[in-house]
Amino acid sequence: MIGRPSLTGQEPCPSFTSMRGSRRIRADFLTFFEERDHHIVPSAPVIPHGDPTLLFTNAGMNQFKDVFLGTRQPEHVRVADTQKCIRVSGKHNDLEEVGRDSYHHTFFEMLGNWSFGDYFKTEAIEWAWTFLVDIVGLPPDRLWATVFGGDGDLGLPSDEEARGLWHEKSSLPHDRVLRFGRKDNFWEMGPTGPCGPCSEIHIDLGPRTCDNPSHASDGSDCRVNGDCSRFIEIWNLVFIQHNHLADGRLEPLPARHVDTGMGFERLVALDAVLEPMKRGEPYTFSNYNTDLFLPIFEQLSSICGVTYAPDMDPRQLTAFRVIGDHVRALPIAMADGAMPDRKGRGSVLRSLLRRAARFGRQVLEIREPFVHLLVPRVADVFSDVFPEVGQRMEHISLVLEAEEESFNRTIDRGIERFTSLASTVTQDGGKTLDGHESYRLYHQDGFPRDLIDQMAAEHGLRVDEEDWTRAEEEHRKASEGRPEQPRYDQNDLEGLPATTFVYPDEDASWNNMEARIVKLLGTEVLVLDRTPFYAEAGGQVGDAGTIESEGFRFAVTDTVKSGAIVLHFGHLEEGDLSSLPPTVTARVESRRRSEIAAHHTATHLLHWALRRVLGDHATQQGSLVAPDHLRFDFTHPKAMTQGQIEEVERRVNRRIARDVSLSIAWDDLESAKSRGVTALFGEKYDERVRVVSIGDFSSELCGGTHCSRTGQIGYFRIASESAVQVGVRRIIARTRRWAVEDALEDRRRLQRASRALSIGPEDLVARVEALRDQVKELKKKGAEVERLTISEKRREMIESFEDIGGVKVLVDVLEGADRKQLGDLADALRSGKEPVVGVLVGTTGETVAVLAFATKKLAKAGKVDASKIVKAMAEITGARGGGRPDFAQTGWKGREKLDEAVTAARDVLHAQLAG
């Protein structure tokens, strides 16, 4: 931990005049649309649930995607919100570019308003203009609009309707309403599906803000949608009115929608420069010069002793921007359930953290972990709109500190890896660094690309761009995984009615339900008008069972949801799919459902017990509820003790034994939260929520299926407790027959171990401890014998050294020696004062291990290079190998080319010494 250093002599972080400030602007936007009959909805989590195509929520429309696809009916036809978004790839969102300019970010808020089949272009354009000019106060003479200019391939003309509305509803002259093509002004959800023209609002920041050095100083080369920063987009109004078919044709949608998005940070930055803009005075436009970043910069200044200012040293300015941007994205994502990790979105967060830490270390000279110290300021900035950051601040800070400490330990290793890589290239006479190895420094060691380029330039080298790009693509695919491909055409769901799901507590005859087949998708998916099958959600797996009628039987193997439509996956066991019955009977596999319910209710009891035993910080991070087990991830900084595990089991089983009844009721979301009902971080809830209460001690928002009484769980047993990542633990537990079978298997293992040692079970622990002590003693004696053996072997080998120009040289093959023994022997051989170089080959069966070594003084003088010796052997055997000039290794399977490889090693070694 770093304390706050003294800032004697330092100026405070500068303030910038703002007409309103971010909180007022956000509130003004939401109030403006609320007054126009829009329902204000909370932001969806930045971790998209139920959409495998996205790593992060990256637009305001993500949470309404199923509405646009027609798989869910909206609760309100007019909606507005501010949405948390993270973008780390794609146009203008290259991670390495964040911090280089004043207006692109990884995390940002998107203000938006939507119409689902209600108002259209007229109102959207009029209200956008009114808000920007009359409410925000942007000067009308600096505003421009763009509209869709038509596209021959799509068969669409220019959107003259929108162009005419801009002239009618605003003061924009025709020459400031520009037409652009499909690339800039036509929105498409994907290759098929809803789409439509869009109209963007841009603002002219003036010629002084142009950042393109090739442009004329008077700004005459600057253009809307051009290649400089003079004109920036403020708001995009999308008019969704077409459906793009698979054959390329467009058809009108049955209902037309409006989807708008405006960058909040840009709007706040514009508010901060309104007065000088109106007076024609010089100003610095930057999203970072606002109250969304300045409190963070103030704390960062107190840590590093460098005061933030727009005209500060460019390297320091970039460092402040990078850190300020990334430290906002990290807590936002972590509060919604994501954590730094090696794959998927976790690898993105780890890259953000390491990039921020690297700029702090490299540019601001901060040597200790510091990113976690900025989290409280982030929580303050968002306290009124995203309070979950503050609520999880302690856990987020703990994880970030541990991650940054781990990263600091890898920095020196990364520098050593780069030095070795560069040395190998220069000694071979090359000028290009291997792209894969360079990218490894980027994604694994957290070195920013610009730093790698800078270090390469210092060695007279450059990175192989094509190789880097290939490595980047390979890593991206490995991190994201293969997107899930639905086993049906998403367009087939458009216009289908929502499926009515019936809970057991709502209908006594729920598991003998008469339903109507709405649609068959392919040969594997049935859609019903109503169903007793629970669709996978909230960690609970989907139901299985049958859908039957006379002469027809469809076996359901899984149940999932798409929007409000329940999809029953399975296969036909009887009948003909070309002639479906008008009505069917839906039956869930009752034993499987019952066991799932037992594990789900046990999950609630486990959550309750963990908070009682460990503290209120032990909150759910994720779960899986299956027929044979439950998995529960929760926040806790260290491994649970055996006593804590047993106490949790005791508490859960006591509640099971008391046979406590469950009560299930529906409530308004805000009402439930105000009563203290537990809601999970990162979950997106509807306005009406289902509350599952157990007695008077547990109450959670939950849409899953449960027992009616705790006694139906039978028996609860924790199978394991382990780490998932820093600050997150995982419990695997079982109930009912599965828990009983685990207990019986443990007893059988105990009995087998007791019989093997010819003792009673009660004496087993003492005997195992005694055997462990004996093994330790034997290992200690074995290590002493091995040291003596190595010492003797060293003396023996010294006698067989070849002397070349005063250098002791050895090339030897040792039968039965493994890699560790070779390493110990090499260290012993070069531990003396004399210059020594050698190649040791160990063979065990068909496995060959090779170690080339030299005294450091000899390698540093450039007389020998162990890595080149190994490389010569690897080229003959087809193996991979490498290392430093004083220590390198390789290995392979098979002895066929052993003699040839050893001869090559000897030749290279002799050639090096001769040169």
Helix ranges (DSSP H) in 459-588: 465-480
One-letter-per-residue 3-state SS of 369-422: CCHHHHHHHHHHHCCCCCCHHHHCHHHHHHHHHHHHHHHHHHHHHHHHHHHHHH
For residues 564 and 562, give the distance between their C-alpha atoms in angstroms, rounded to a whole number. 6
Is the Cβ–Cβ distance between 115 and 257 less than 8 Å? yes
Look at residues 295, 302, 305 and name the one whose alpha carbon lies nearest to residue 327.
295
For residues 549 and 512, give the distance between their C-alpha atoms in angstroms, rounded to a whole number. 12
- For residue 370, pLDDT over 60 is answered with yes
Look at residues 595, 663, 677 and name the one whose alpha carbon lies nearest to residue 628.
595
pLDDT band, very low/low/confident/very high, at 694 (cuts 50, 70, 90): very high
Is the Cβ–Cβ distance between 559 and 568 less than 8 Å? yes
Look at residues 847, 849, 843, 881 and name the one whose alpha carbon lies nearest to residue 865.
881
C-alpha gyration radius of the chain:
33
- For residue 17, pLDDT over 50 is answered with no
- For residue 556, pLDDT over 50 is answered with yes
What number of other Cβ atoms are within 10 A of residue 204's Cβ?
Answer: 19
For residues 546 and 643, give the distance between their C-alpha atoms in angstroms, rounded to a whole number. 45
SS3 431: coil
Look at residues 747, 501, 740, 744 and name the one whose alpha carbon lies nearest to residue 598.
740
What number of other Cβ atoms are within 10 A of residue 887's Cβ?
Answer: 19
Q: What is the pLDDT of residues 280-319, one digit of tens each?
A: 888 889 999 999 999 999 999 999 999 999 889 999 999 9
pLDDT band, very low/low/confident/very high, at 5 (cuts 50, 70, 90): very low
For residues 222 and 212, give the distance between their C-alpha atoms in angstroms, rounded to a whole number. 9
Q: What is the pLDDT of residues 408-465, one digit of tens each?
A: 877 767 777 787 778 777 766 778 888 888 888 877 766 767 678 867 876 788 888 8
- Select the highest-mean-pLDDT range: 4-8, 400-404, 460-464, 653-657: 653-657
Specify the length of the chain in residues.
Answer: 915
For residues 390 and 90, give the distance between their C-alpha atoms in angstroms, rounded to a whole number. 30
Arithmetic mean of pLDDT over the chain: 87
Amino acid at position 182, single letter: R
**In this predicted model, which residue has the larger pLDDT, 795 or 614?**
614
- For residue 145, pLDDT over 60 is answered with yes
For residues 358 and 318, give the distance between their C-alpha atoms in angstroms, rounded to a whole number. 12
For residues 163 and 144, give the distance between their C-alpha atoms in angstroms, rounded to a whole number. 12
pLDDT band, very low/low/confident/very high, at 858 (cuts 50, 70, 90): confident
pLDDT band, very low/low/confident/very high, at 742 (cuts 50, 70, 90): very high
Is the Cβ–Cβ distance between 847 and 839 less than 8 Å? no
For residues 621 and 727, give the distance between their C-alpha atoms in angstroms, rounded to a whole number. 10
Is the Cβ–Cβ distance between 887 and 863 less than 8 Å? no
**In this predicted model, which residue has the larger pLDDT, 181 or 829?**
181
Q: Which two three-digit tokens encode residue 576?
A: 């003909």
Burial of 370 (0-12, 13-18, 19+ CB in 10 A): buried
Supply the pLDDT for residue 69: 77
Supply the pLDDT for residue 481: 45
For residues 685 and 702, give the distance between their C-alpha atoms in angstroms, rounded to a whole number. 10
Q: What is the pLDDT of residues 461-510, one digit of tens each?
A: 888 888 888 888 877 666 554 444 456 677 788 778 899 999 988 887 78
Supply the pLDDT for residue 895: 87
For residues 526 and 528, give the distance between their C-alpha atoms in angstroms, rounded to a whole number. 7
Supply the pLDDT for residue 670: 87
% of the chain residues with pLDDT over 70: 92
Beta bridge partners of 196: 187
Look at residues 387, 452, 449 and name the one whose alpha carbon lies nearest to residue 421.
452
Amino acid at position 807, single letter: V
pLDDT band, very low/low/confident/very high, at 13 (cuts 50, 70, 90): very low
Supply the pLDDT for residue 351: 85
Look at residues 548, 521, 520 and name the one whose alpha carbon lies nearest to residue 532.
548
The continuous run of DSSP H or E covering 274 comes out as helix 274-279
Q: C-alpha 612: how far from its chain's center?
A: 31
Mean pLDDT value of segment 840-867? 88
Is the Cβ–Cβ distance between 177 and 166 less than 8 Å? yes
For residues 197 and 257, give the distance between their C-alpha atoms in angstroms, rounded to a whole number. 11
One-letter-per-residue 3-state SS of 202-242: EEECCHHHCCCCCCCCCCCCCCCCCCCCCEEEEEEEEEEEE
- For residue 90, pLDDT over 70 is answered with no
Q: C-alpha 427: how far from its chain's center?
A: 40
- CA dihedral (231, 237, 240, 241) in degrees, to 10, reads -90
Q: What is the pLDDT of residues 235-286, one digit of tens each?
A: 999 999 998 888 888 998 888 999 999 999 999 999 999 888 888 888 889 9
Is the Cβ–Cβ distance between 353 and 340 less than 8 Å? yes
SS3 176: helix
Q: Which two three-digit tokens encode residue 723?
A: 């780490």
Look at residues 30, 50, 32 and name the one whose alpha carbon lies nearest to residue 41.
30
Supply the pLDDT for residue 52: 66
The continuous run of DSSP H or E covering 826 comes out as helix 819-829
Give me the sheet containing 688-694, strands edge to edge.
Answer: 662-668, 688-694, 698-701
Mean pLDDT value of segment 52-81? 85
Supply the pLDDT for residue 16: 47
Burial of 708 (0-12, 13-18, 19+ CB in 10 A): middle
Supply the pLDDT for residue 93: 54
For residues 464 and 470, give the distance between their C-alpha atoms in angstroms, rounded to a whole number. 10
Q: Which two three-digit tokens encode residue 734?
A: 């079982």
Q: What is the pLDDT of residues 166-220, one digit of tens each?
A: 999 999 999 999 999 999 999 987 778 889 999 999 999 989 888 888 999 888 8
Q: Buried b / exposed e across 81-106, counting CB within 10 Å, b at 16+?
A: bbbbbbbbeeeeeebeebbeebbbbb
Look at residues 441, 439, 443 and name the one whose alpha carbon lies nearest to residue 465.
439
Q: What is the pLDDT of residues 598-651, one digit of tens each?
A: 999 999 999 999 999 999 889 898 899 999 999 999 999 899 999 999 999 999
- For residue 61, pLDDT over 90 is answered with no
The long-range contacts involving 252-257, CB below 8 angstroms and separated by at least 24 positions, are: 253/194, 254/495, 255/116, 255/117, 256/117, 256/120, 256/196, 257/67, 257/68, 257/114, 257/115, 257/116, 257/117, 257/194
One-letter-per-residue 3-state SS of 756-818: HHCCCHHHHHHHHHHHHHHHHHHHHHHHHHHHHHHHHHHHHHHCCCEEECCEEEEEEEEECCC
Q: Which two three-digit tokens encode residue 15?
A: 């303030």
Strands 698-701 and 107-116, sheet pairing: unpaired
Query: Quick one: residue 413, left, alpha or beta (phi over 0 = left, psi -120 to 50 = alpha)?
Result: alpha
For residues 242 and 88, give the distance between their C-alpha atoms in angstroms, rounded to a whole number. 29
pLDDT band, very low/low/confident/very high, at 337 (cuts 50, 70, 90): confident
pLDDT band, very low/low/confident/very high, at 2 (cuts 50, 70, 90): very low
Is the Cβ–Cβ distance between 226 and 233 less than 8 Å? no
Supply the pLDDT for residue 41: 94
pLDDT band, very low/low/confident/very high, at 3 (cuts 50, 70, 90): very low
Provide the greatest CA pair distance for the chain.
Answer: 99
- For residue 1, pLDDT over 60 is answered with no
Q: What is the pLDDT of residues 879-909, one digit of tens each?
A: 877 788 888 988 888 888 899 999 999 999 8
For residues 541 and 627, give the distance between their C-alpha atoms in angstroms, rounded to a whole number. 8
